[in-house]
Amino acid sequence: MNSLGKRLQHFRLERGWSKRALAEKLGVSIPSIIRWEEEIAVPNDYNRYKIEQFLSSAAEANALLSRDQQEDDGQLALFPKRRGLGQVQ
């Protein structure tokens, strides 16, 4: 899964996005996404740059979310959520 097309496809499927949604986020056509994922064509330098930026920013966001989730899980173990007023414990 080293090729850009396969990485892009894995990224898209992992998030449950359609090819249309990914094309809109990258500002390209749906046929471009299809050709890249199927490795029929490779993106030009400009689109490759956009894809790499998009994938790296998403990876950074996932790392932050993962770290935040780990911190939240640790806090919940120490400080359980309080029940609202009027709720029986």
Q: What is the pLDDT of residues 60-88, one digit of tens each?
A: 777 776 665 555 555 444 444 445 555 45
Statement: the pTM of the whole predicted model exceeds 0.85: no
Q: What is the pLDDT of residues 24-62, one digit of tens each?
A: 999 999 999 999 999 999 999 999 999 988 888 877 777
pLDDT confidence of residue 55: 84
SS3 87: coil
pLDDT confidence of residue 76: 45
pLDDT confidence of residue 79: 44
* CB 22 within 8 Å of CB 47: no
* CB 68 within 8 Å of CB 74: no
At 4, the amino acid letter reads: L
Q: Which domains does the chain have, with CATH numbers?
A: 4-78 (1.10.260.40)
Token readout for 17 is 């996005």
Token readout for 4 is 């850009």
